[in-house]
Amino acid sequence: MKRISLAIHGGAGTLVKGMMTAELEVQYKAALKLALDEGYKVLEQGGTAIEAVEVSVKLLEDSHLFNAGRGSVFTADETHEMDASIMDGKTLNAGAVSLISNIKNPVSLARDVMENSEHVFLAGEGAMKFAKDQGYELKPTDYFYDEFRHKQWLEIKDTDSFQLDHSVKKDSKFGTVGAVACDVNGNIAAATSTGGMTNKRYGRVGDSPMIGAGNYANNNTCAVSCTGSGEYFIRGVVAYDVSCLMEHKDLSLLDAANDVINKRILEINGDGGLIAVDAKGNIAMPFNTEGMYRACKSSTGEEEISIYKE
Ligand code: ASP
């Protein structure tokens, strides 16, 4: 049997000691474990990488702990605008949505764009219209209310600044979620979902829904899901950069992912991390921040659920 693998993340960033309580840490790890186990079960039962990454990301979106789906941060207008994307490494099909609201699981809408539309990327009102045509029910806005996120927003709402959910020292919450998987047939896939940045405005969109920047999958190289300061990840075309280093420089998954996160993106001041798998089931989870919520599991017995640098 071929090696199956799954890796997930719940955001990378700075975590000030003392902000994270032992209790909260247990909650985060439990949420990661649930998403990991359920996604992995899909792979074990012979499901596809696409199915597995959707299952894992949906569970992370359903948790208020992460900045995606239910736990999405507040925009400058005190609303939630969510972005998500998904990509199939076997076919290079992809789907993405941006600036959507009241949708419980943005990653599923991204998958519907991939499978049930002729397009790759739908945004704003148009994406919402597509969701309606696909039969999506809208969640009431208070489903997305989280006291901590609201407090984060209140602190900067009258300023011009917008902030990464996890980049400010006093912030104990990380953000964006993602999953990458390699299934029993050696097909790989990636999915990413986020509420973006606190106090964002002007229709700001980060890297998460952008194929090549925050999310990418290609059976010949790797599947990648990123988290970090989106503006830098877009400019670094980070997810595709990992793939390019493998394709054109013949680097291994680990070397390519490390090179991008610990060198290339740092050179333009980008902070964050990524998770990646290749079609042999190898896993990489580098980050250049203090921590990254992350977990992985593979049929070789590898299993990890961590937050900080070991
Ligand atoms: N990359 C996301 C964005 O810029 C944020 C994050 O990873 O937390 O929208």
**Please, what are the domains in the chain?**
5-308 (3.60.20.30)
Average pLDDT on 248-274 reads 97
pLDDT at 215 over 50: yes
Confidence check: pLDDT of 173 > 60: no
Tell which atom from ligand 1 comes closest to the C-alpha of 165: 8
Q: Work out which ligand 1 atom sits closest to the CA atom of 166.
A: 8
Q: Are 264 and 244 in contact (CB under 8 A)?
A: no
Note the pLDDT tens digit of each residue in 117-161. 999 999 999 999 999 999 999 999 889 988 888 887 787 777 766
Q: How far is the CA of 301 from the centre of ligand 1 (A)?
A: 31
% of the chain beyond a pLDDT of 70? 93
The mean of the pLDDT values for the chain is 92
Apex CA 136: angle with CA 230 and CA 295, to 5°?
45
pLDDT for residue 151: 80
Which residue, chain included where needed, has tokens 């925050």?
Answer: 214
Residue 17: which pLDDT band, with cuts at 50, 70 and 90?
Answer: low
Q: Quick one: tokens of 48? A: 């596809």
Distance of alpha carbon 299 from the chain centroid: 23
Confidence of residue 16 (pLDDT cuts 50, 70, 90): low
Tell me the DSSP string of 235-276.
HTTHHHHHHHHHHHH---HHHHHHHIIIIITGGGT--EEEEE
pLDDT at 13: 83
Pocket of ligand 1 (CB under 6 A): 11, 67, 164-165, 175-176, 194, 196-197, 206-208, 214, 227-228, 230, 233
Q: Give the pLDDT score at 130.
A: 98
pLDDT for residue 95: 98
Give the confidence band of 162 by pLDDT, cuts at 50, 70, 90. low
3-class state of residue 193 by DSSP? strand
Residue 197 CA to ligand 1 centre (angstroms): 6
Q: How confident is the model at residue 198 (pLDDT cuts 50, 70, 90)?
A: confident
* Whether pLDDT at 172 is above 60: no
Q: How many CB atoms lie within 10 A of CB 20?
A: 17
Residue type for 253, please?
L
Pocket probe for ligand 1: among 149, 193, 207, the residue whose CB has the most ligand atoms within 8 Å is 207
Quick: pLDDT tens for 58-109. 999 999 999 999 999 888 888 899 999 999 999 999 999 999 999 999 999 9
CA-nearest residue, atom 7 of ligand 1: 227
- Return the pLDDT at 163: 57
From CA 67, how far away is CA 60, in angstroms rounded? 9
**Ligand 1: distance of its center to the CA of 207 in Å?**
7
Query: According to the model, what pLDDT value does residue 171 have?
Result: 43
SS (H, E, C) 53-115: HHHHHHHHHHCCCCCCHHHCCCCCCCCCCEEEEEEECCCCCEEEEEEECCCCCHHHHHHHHHH
- Measuring CA to CA, how many Å separate 31 from each of 10, 21, 91? 9, 15, 31
Residue 1 structure tokens: 């049997």
Q: Which two tokens stand for residue 124?
A: 């704003």
pLDDT over threshold 70, residue 8: yes
As a whole number, mean pLDDT of residues 296-301 equals: 97
- For residue 199, is pLDDT > 50? yes
306: β partners? 294
Q: Rounded CA gap, 131 and 126, in Å?
A: 9
Task: Ligand 1, residue 229: give the atom nearest the CA.
Answer: 4
Q: Is the pLDDT of residue 276 over 50?
A: yes
CA 31 – ligand 1 centroid, Å: 19
Per-residue confidence band for 21, with pLDDT thresholds at 50, 70 and 90: confident
The catalytic site residues sit at: 176
Q: pLDDT-based confidence at 1, cuts 50/70/90?
A: low
Q: Enter the tokens of residue 120.
A: 């790759």
